[in-house]
Structure 1
Amino acid sequence: MGAMIDDSSYERYARGMEERVRPALAACRKEGWLDPSAAERRAGLEPAGGQLHYCAYDAAAFDALREDGATGAFHGCIVISHGFTEFAEKYDELAFYFLLAGYSVCVIDHRGHGKSARDVSDPALVWIDDWQRYAVDLACFAQTVGQSYASGQPLNLFAHSMGGGVGAAVLERHPMLFDKAVLSAPMVAPQTGMSMWLTRALVSLVCACGLGRRRVMFQKEFDPAAPPDLSRYELSSEARERWYHKLRCEHEEYRTYCASFGWVRQAMRLNRAILDRRACSEVETPILLFQAGHDLWVRNKPQDEFIRRVRDGGCDARLVRIEDSEHEIFSMPNAVYRPYLEQILDFYADPSVGAMDD
């Protein structure tokens, strides 16, 4: 791959994004809307209503730009499943690198995030009635938009945090959907600051009292007038974190920031579903899971257990621990980000991975 965006200062990073990345993405981007209601009905869910927003980037249109470092060869499509309170545009830089490597890229705004439909009036709040809705939506997106952009070539998954937990559930329920999957600091289990059993008991009680749509204690909405709080991102690239903050300030729909008790309850249910031994044994897609050594948002031990159980089921599943990384590995400085990205691209391109299954 070619040179990465210079993140040595915010000014240089912003210039790279504004002058190189954004124009290139705009030239090959199509924004669209997905109606998942039919897929939800087939899965036994009552349709929640509303449509889901997505961005899709066509590798052929990108190749016509003749960007420095572009491969010029088409290798398929990568579907991106974003994390909690995130949005498609946050992945612009990563999408750009995937396009340079010859992949079309499709990114969906999960329900309650970005420009997609929301089920609560509070724009800062994330709530979901059933975690399975996320999984049905992602599978539907991959089966329709993702497959169309893959054009008969491999369809791969990149899934981060909450999106990684959802992605893991999709791999268990749709073993043949993706050719390869990268799970980046996936939310096999959220970090709640208390034990798992106590978290389950607390959120179940609160939801039973009809307070599932209330914000979890001490969580505040995003304040665009306040400077970015970088106290929890001491190792991350300051330039990238400031860029994400800028995007939230510019777009009201990107200011989703808080968990509801109902969302936490569903995250705990997702945890049990993902780690079910029978479900793990259904996975056939080769997995590369990245674990962050300084992760404040998800638990590492459940990731270890997931990989063990998938391996026990006979699937190729690998775990790479990046000791000096925080939760968002793609938000780290280039010294960490580049080798991480190179491992991802090598994994997608390696013909020996999963070859025994062919």
Structure 2
Amino acid sequence: MPKKTVKTLSKIASLGLASAGLYHTYYQRKYPLIVDEPDEHILKVTKDEAMSNELALDWVMEANYTIEMNEKVVPYLSKRVQKGELKRGDYTLAYDAYVLDDAVATVTIVHGFNEYKEKFQEIIYYLLQSKIQVIIYDQRGHGASKLTPQQTQIDSQNFNEYVLDLKAVIDQVARPILLKGQKLIIFSHSMGGAVTTSYIEQYANEVDGAILNTPMFMIDTGRYPQSFTYLYTKLMTKLGYGRHYIPTTEAFEPSRHTVYNETPEEAISNSQIREEYFHKVNLTNHTLPTQGGSLNWLKTAFDTTHEILKPDRLNQVNIPVLLIRAGEDNVVQKEGIFTAGYYLPNVERVLIPESKHQTYLDHDNALKSYVNKLIGFIYSV
């Protein structure tokens, strides 16, 4: 290669790196994050602590998990569930209502990306035993709330539609079953945490408290900085490739995705027994489960997290918030959670050091401590 050509290519490469560096700096200034370790309550549990602090609930144990879920939990829930649908534009939201005559509180559950309402059956079982009635729904494009049963890609060009769906469920399903003086609380996980945060920022004081469980405030983009991933996503959607899959996800493929084969390193839960069980539940309930997301979804998710982490929006949320972070989270990054915790005025920050992203699918002792914390917060609101 001629020396002149080499020199030209070298200049272009240097210019590209410099531009990338400038954009990264610009991005960090435009969307600043808190990076310092906050003062978090550490929920670290030994077997003795779990036994001394646990509530008097009928617990489901890993040693006999599938049998206990199928023969005890599922029949218990089936006797108490009221299934319904709520029309929202092109989507029909499927929901389950577990109504109690003697409920002390009502909890609306907002699940995460690529999840479905049945995945929270064990948690619902514990809440009902604690006299907490539950509303849970499939978010649009998930579970039974898809446009067609064949839809396997999660696509969105307006993240606020998720927020308006939550508002509709609160207003039309949860609020009508409230008893006098009863508290209404949202329990949200991951993407559901972003949806819930946007909701409580926009509709102040419409609920009495919120649990943000490993919320999706900053998506883990792996070895690529979030700034570059966001730029790439913006460019691709602008060029008309918004319906392409996010590079780390893919379409549902029956020959590969019907078998649970996650290794402990790849799994997003500590309890692979629980995770495998609900993998099978997903396949049983949904002929073609959702599998991956579109670049449209990723871009609007980035746009939303940029907005909800603004200090002036977080500062106006006065209701009690329980903010839970998993120490071994491999889905969301901690800086987004640090930022929300720093600016929320009425927040309790909890760290579960050894837990992964799906804290509600942990090993027995850790799960007991986790559920104790959830129920304790609900009763304290």
TM-score of the aligned structures, taking structure 1 as reference length: 0.85
Q: What letter corresponds to residue 352 of structure 2 in structure 1?
A: I
Q: 1:177–1:303: structure 2 CA closer, same or farther, 3 Å change rule?
A: same
Q: Which has the higher mean CA deviation after the structures are superposed, 174-183 or 153-162?
A: 174-183
Higher Cα radius of gyration: 2
Out of 95, 98, 106, the position equivalent to 1:54 is 95
Residues 273 and 218 of structure 1: CA distance in aligned 2, closer, same or farther (over 3 Å): closer
Residue from 172, 175, 182 that aligns with 2:201: 172
1:139 is aligned to: 167
Q: What is the identity, as a one-letter code, of the residue corresponding to 1:295?
A: D
For residues 171 and 123 of structure 1, the distance between their equivalents in structure 2, rounded to whole angstroms, comes to: 30
2:234 is matched by which residue type in structure 1?
Answer: S
Relative to structure 1, the CA distance from residue 237 to residue 254 in structure 2 (aligned partners, 3 Å threshold; closer, same or farther) is: farther
Tell me, yes or no, if structure 1 residue 274 matches structure 2 residue 315: no
The CA deviation at 1:223 is 4.3
Per the alignment, residue 301 of structure 1 pairs with: 335
The CA distance in 2 between the partners of 1:163 and 1:99, in whole Å, is 21
Q: Is the 8 Å Cα contact of residues 76 and 149 (structure 1) preserved in structure 2?
A: no
Change (3 A) 1:189 1:253: farther
Residue equivalent to 1:42: none
Quick one: which of 262, 270, 289 aligns to 1:230?
262
CA distance in 2, matches of 1:21, 1:217: 37
Which residue number corresponds to residue 217 of structure 1?
247
**Residue equivalent to 2:62:** 7
Q: Counterpart of 1:284?
A: 318
Residue 187 of structure 1 corresponds to 216
Report the equivalent of 2:158. 130
| Structure 1 residue 220, shift from structure 2 partner | 2.8
> 1:89: Cα distance to partner?
0.7
Q: Which residue is equivalent to 2:278?
A: 244
Query: Separation in 2 of the partners of 1:253 and 1:190?
Result: 29
Equivalent residues of 1:188, 1:271 under 8 A apart: yes
Kept after mapping to 2: 8 A contact 1:104/1:149: no
- CA distance in 1: counterparts of 2:134 and 2:229, whole angstroms: 36
What is the identity, as a one-letter code, of the residue corresponding to 2:61?
A: D
Corresponding position of 1:39: none
* C-alpha contact 2:268 2:358 (8 A) present in aligned 1: no
SS in 2 for 1:324: coil
Q: Secondary structure at the match of 1:326?
A: coil
Task: Kindly report which structure 2 residues correspond to 1:1-358, keeping only aligned pairs within 5 A, or say none.
Answer: 1=55, 2-8=57-63, 12-36=64-88, 47=89, 49-60=90-101, 73-118=102-147, 123-152=151-180, 153-193=182-222, 194-226=224-256, 227-231=259-263, 232-233=266-267, 236-252=270-286, 255-311=289-345, 316-350=346-380, 353=381
Identity %: 26
Secondary structure of 1:294's aligned partner: coil
- Which residue of the partner structure matches residue 42 of structure 2? none
Task: Specify the code of the residue in structure 1 equivalent to 2:80.
Answer: C
The aligned counterpart of 2:7 is: none
Instruction: Give unpaired runs (5+ residues) of structure 1.
Output: 37-46, 61-72, 354-358
State the alpha-carbon separation in 2 of the partners of residues 160 and 15 from structure 1: 26
Q: Contact 1:113–1:253 (CA<8 Å) still a contact in 2? A: no
**Matched-pair contact (CA < 8 Å) for 1:76–1:154:** yes
- Structure 1 consecutive aligned stretches of length 4 or more whose deviation exceeds 3 Å: 221-226
Q: What SS is found at the alignment partner of 1:14?
A: helix
- Alpha-carbon deviation of 1:218? 4.2
The answer as to whether partners of 2:269 and 2:358 remain within 8 angstroms in 1 is no
Could you report, residue by residue, the CA deviation over 1:165-199 in whole angstroms, capped at 9, with x for unpaired residues? 10111111112121111111000121122222111
Q: Distance in 1 between matches of 2:288 and 2:119?
A: 9
User: How far apart, CA to CA, are the structure 2 residues paired with 1:23 and 1:98?
Assistant: 16
SS at 1:159 equivalent: strand
Correspondence for 1:64: none
Alpha-carbon deviation of 1:245?
1.4
Following superposition, the deviation at residue 234 of structure 1 comes to: 7.5
8 Å contact 2:108–2:170 — kept in the other structure? yes
SS state at 2:323 partner: strand
| SS of structure 2 residue aligned to 1:34 | strand
Of structures 1 and 2, the one scoring higher in RCO (CA 8 A, sep 6+) is: 2
Where 2:344 maps in the other structure, the secondary structure is helix
| Cα distance in 1, alignment partners of residues 120 and 251 from structure 2 | 22
Contact 2:151 2:288 in 1 (8 A): no
CA gap of 1:222–1:117, structure 2 versus 1, over 3 A, is closer
